[in-house]
Amino acid sequence: MAAQQQRRWSYGGPDLERLLREARENKGESLWNDAWRRLRRNRAAWWSLVFLVCFALLSFFAPLLPLRSPVTTNLQKTHHAPELVWGDSGYLSAVPVGQAVTPEDIERAYWELGSLDRGLLRLRMGIFGRWQTGNWMGTDQLGRDILSRIVWGSRTSILVALAATFCSLLIGVVYGAFSGLMGGRVDNALMRIVDILYSIPFIFVVIFLITLIGDHRVLLEERLGLDREKIFYIVIGAIYWLTMARVVRGQVLSLKNSEFIEAARVIGASTARILFTHIVPNVLSIVIVYLTLTIPAIMLFEAFLSFLGLGIEPPKVSWGTLANDGTAAINPLRIFWWLVVFPALAMGSTLLALNILGDGLRDALDPKLRGKD
């Protein structure tokens, strides 16, 4: 018996070493690593992600770029067609050419900027001086540079989309996950509230809230520090969480009776711990995909409200105000095509990239497709 046991261990030794060596060479792959690998293999989704990252960086560092001021007018160049001029040392502010330009002069050519943007503007002044790009995409009816307005307008549109999406994410995920986990009468009552809110047209609610808040804007700015732009973010985000709540609730209903949830209940985990530790991480893939579809919808909604004059107020600029300027420039006598084509290309390419990325993320994060590529 001892000899047989000794032969068994001696026979298993090399096999065990071989299995350990194969295990070290073939490491396992998590869901997120596998999703990232499959996303990189999807060329359309990958290049859409690269385009969006580059465009976001361009928008973020807009104060650092040698662009003309998006609000400074030049009545001598109204409706000026695009020209391939590398750049000039023209006006950055009201300071004449030849006179020293201070950072304060540069800042007065813009609206009230934050500390980060002011720092980037001063760094831009140290790098480029008075040099700035030409009117590569033409000018509008007031002589303002279209290229600069597109880049600076993208900052506003992207910030509105991200802030409103984060607000809808925070409310919708918690609300939907709690409703699906509790079930019964609680779930029924919470979903009936969502149904009632769904029956109210979004556009009327947003217009009513923005108009109502506009009557008390001075009080809100003095006491709470909420200007119209911040309120605009909150209002849109508070409207767009309804679909997110329904999507998350459906996923939670399919997970709440799983073995790992039952095990968490057996060991005495609280409802909050089950919700945020076990439920929410397992629905993040669906949430991420839905977010890539929510951001374009919010950007279009912001552009529509700005087009109606209910969004971002001048002198700030967004893609919605550019659309409004473009429609005003179309007349039977002459069409200033650059006021329509270039803002439409910027907005359309961004929305297209977001939709392609969302479709790629859906395929990459689908557990049923693991190991099939």
Average pLDDT across the chain, whole number: 77
In angstroms, the CA 38 to CA 136 distance is 39
Q: Convert 15-44 to b/e letters by CB count within 10 Å (16 or more is b).
A: eeeeeeeeeeeeeeeeeeebbeebbeebee
Residues contacting residue 296 through CB under 8 Å, at least 6 positions apart: 161, 350, 351, 354, 355
Domain-embedded: residue 169: yes
What pLDDT score does 145 carry? Answer: 87
pLDDT digits (tens, 9 = 90+) for 81-134: 888 777 665 545 455 555 566 666 676 777 777 788 888 888 888 888 778 888
**274 to each of 142, 255, 278, 290, how far by Cα in Å?**
58, 11, 5, 23
Q: How many angstroms from the chain centroid is the CA of residue 78?
A: 33
Domain-embedded: residue 77: yes
The angle subtended at Cα 240 by Cα 234 and Cα 246, nearest 5°, is: 135
Identity at 53, one-letter amino acid code: V
Domain-embedded: residue 103: no
Domain-embedded: residue 40: no
Domain-embedded: residue 35: no
Total of domains in the chain: 1
What pLDDT score does 47 carry? Answer: 92
Cβ atoms of 134 and 61 within 8 Å: the answer is: no
Which domain, by its residues, includes 220? 46-89+131-369
Domain-embedded: residue 24: no
What pLDDT score does 129 carry? Answer: 75
pLDDT digits (tens, 9 = 90+) for 321-330: 887 777 777 7
Percent of the chain with pLDDT over 70: 79
Is the model's pLDDT at 366 over the cut of 70?
Answer: no
Element (H, E) at 98: none
Domain-embedded: residue 336: yes
pLDDT digits (tens, 9 = 90+) for 23-56: 666 665 566 777 788 888 889 989 999 999 998 8
Domain-embedded: residue 189: yes
- Whose CA is closest to 137, among 325, 322, 338, 318? 338
Query: What is the CATH number for 210?
Result: 1.10.3720.10
- End-to-end CA gap in the chain: 50
